[in-house]
Amino acid sequence: MKLNNIKYTLAICALLLTSVSYAQNPTDPKKATPAAGTLTDEIVVERPYKPVLADAAKIRRSPDLNSNSVFKRALTYSMFDKKLELNSDIRQLQAQEVINGERPPLLNNYAKFGMGNFSTGLAELYLNTGSDEALQAGFFLKHLNQKGDITGQKYSRQNAGIFGKSILPKVTLNGELGFDRFSTFLYGVDPSTNLTFNSDPQKQRYSTISIKGEMLKNYKSEDELDYAVKADAYFLSDKFDAKENAIALSGFVNKVWNDFNIGVNSSLDFTQTKDSLNIGNHIFRANPYIKLQGKSYKLSLGVNLVEEFGTNSGFNLFPTVTAEMPVIPEFATLFAGYTGDVIKSTLQNFSNENPYLNQNLQILNTQETANLYGGIKGNAGAGFGYKATLFYKKLDNMPLFVNNALNPERFDVIYDNAKVTGLEGEINVKVSDAFSWLGKVMVNNYSMDVQEKAWLKPEFKISSSARLSITKEITIDGELVLNDASSALVYLPTPSIVKVKGYADVSAGAEYVHKEKVGIFLRVNNMLNNDYQRLLYYPQLGLNVIGGVNYSF
């Protein structure tokens, strides 16, 4: 057993040695020197390569070489693969859907109530139909009364009215029916003696009913006429049975032709004033014109024909020439003109300026025979506007107020010819919706024909007003009036000139609004508590305060 194992072991070793010898790389016979007793001949065994393909990759079906079928793809065609758009036509606009948001409350109406010193009472009411601007109708009512320390120093004013507006496809219609009532007393006091001219002052009251109507064309084009028609009427009466009725019709027609405007303004005014005298004061006027407007100028040429008829009659023809030329477009424009007109005198105009009138006033119209003016106007940015005008006027029958010789608390109206040279200026600033300011100045120099002075007409006046919204709820405003001294003519004890001192009147107010509905306001007038007169013998109220509430709904 052991012998056999030895044989098998020797045989395996011999085979391993033979394999090792075959795997070695042959050596260069020139360099290598065989060792004694080693094998030097190399035996190489070769045979041809025959590839064998596995059975899994064999194709067991022969191809059909006679098959001639043709593959056909299913095709589809569209005659209008892409839509062509015609740019020669205007496409209909597609409305964009509006997102429904929270709408603010619609506050068309408000009521206001207030009280103050000097027995002041204030009430206002305003009603309106709604937010449709094309159809409006409403009603308003106002009341204010005050009572001073002087006997008879009382004031009371009421205003009421209804109005309507309708915007039709071609025209706009406006109408209003109003009532105005102003009541006071003839409480004249001599400031030098503090004595009243009448221990039992008489009451004066002016009541006016007015009617207004207007029709305007909504647009104008080169192919059509532009036009407007307006009608006004009022009926006035006072406590002493004086009456005045007036009816006026006015309108204009304008035609645009290239750079030209050709048109005419016209009016017919009938006014009848009744007291112990019955005065008819009627005026017809026509103002044909032609306007030429270029890129760097505007020019208007025309005439003003004025026919007066009634108690007094007369015919007047005035040339009218106006021109504008931009120096810096949109910032500065020079303007000038020469015109003339007839300024109508009425009891209504006189009573609005001076309510302490005498009876049986003389009514004469003022002829503005010449009005030559020139100046500059423009804007310095979106929130700053200005205008300055120098002028020279020649006036025939300019009205003046003078105290009556027998009843100094009453005023008569006298007339005189005058030449007036002056300056008017205006500045308007609006920084934003939160702040705005307006300032005006007026300087006049009167050269009278017969009278020594232009009675009760100041030669210098400044007015200014400002408004500031501190927050959305709080707003304050202020006003300043500076009036130069003036001269008055008195007859007692002898004709003489009395100086009416100049004055400064400062007023301010504040308002707080809660949720855009409920508000609280406070107003202080004559803050400097100045004792001044606008008209001789009629001192104004001192410092007066009004406070109250208002409600919007």
If one compares 4 and 225, the residue with the highest pLDDT of the two is 225
Superfamily holding 380-553: TonB-dependent receptor, beta-barrel domain (2.40.170.20)
- Alpha carbon separation from 406 to 4, 490, 493 (Å, rounded): 180, 10, 10
Per residue in 249-276, pLDDT tens? 999 999 888 888 899 999 999 999 999 8
As a whole number of angstroms, the distance between CA 215 and CA 329 comes to 34
| 32 vs 220, residue with greater confidence | 220
State yes or no: pLDDT of 60 exceeds 90.
Answer: no
17 pLDDT higher than 70: no
Pairwise CA distance, residues 274 & 236, whole Å? 10
Tokens at 188, concatenated: 């004249």
pLDDT in tens, 145-157: 999 999 999 999 9
Report the 10 Å Cβ neighbour count for 486.
22
Please give the angle made by the CA atoms of 464, 465 and 467, to the nearest 5 degrees. Answer: 155
- The 10s digit of each residue's pLDDT in 339-397 is 999 999 999 999 999 999 999 999 999 999 999 999 999 988 778 999 999 999 999 99
Tell me: pLDDT of 181 over 50.
yes
Mean pLDDT in residue range 103-119 = 86
Residue 504 pLDDT greater than 90, yes or no: yes
CB 531, CB 553: distance < 8 Å: no
Q: How many CA atoms lie within 13 A of 447 on its CB side?
A: 7
Q: Note the pLDDT tens digit of each residue in 195-207.
A: 888 889 999 999 9
Distances (CA, A) of 465 to 431, 483, 503, 506, 507: 14, 15, 17, 10, 9
- Indicate if the pLDDT at residue 71 is higher than 60: no
Whole-number Å distance between alpha carbons of 525 and 481: 11
Tell me the C-alpha to C-alpha distance, in Å, between residue 472 and each of 247, 434, 516. 45, 9, 9
Q: Which residues, 6 or more positions from 230, have their beta carbon under 8 angstroms from its beta carbon?
A: 212, 213, 214, 215, 249, 250, 251
- pLDDT > 70 fraction of the chain, expressed in percent and rounded: 80
The pLDDT score that the predictor gives to residue 58 is: 53
Residue 233 has pLDDT above 60, yes or no: yes
* Residue 2 region by backbone torsions, left for phi larger than 0, else alpha for psi between -120 and 50, else beta: alpha
The region that residue 426 occupies, defined by phi over 0 for left and psi between -120 and 50 for alpha, beta otherwise, is: beta
DSSP structure string for 257-299: ETTEEEEEEEEEEEEEEESSSEEEEEEEEEEEEEEEE-SS-EE
User: How far, in whole angstroms, is CA 19 from its chain's centroid?
Assistant: 116
Mean pLDDT of 228-240: 96
% pLDDT > 90, the chain: 69
Given a contact cutoff of 8 angstroms between Cβ atoms, the answer to whether 227 and 185 are in contact is: no
The closest alpha carbon to 441, from 467, 418, 459, belongs to 459
Report whether 228 contacts 251 (CB < 8 A).
yes
- pLDDT tens digits, residue range 269-280? 999 999 988 999
d(CA 338, CA 330) in angstroms, rounded, equals 24
Structure tokens at 275: 């007291």
Instruction: For residue 350, report the phi and psi dihedrals to the nearest 5 degrees.
Output: -65, -45
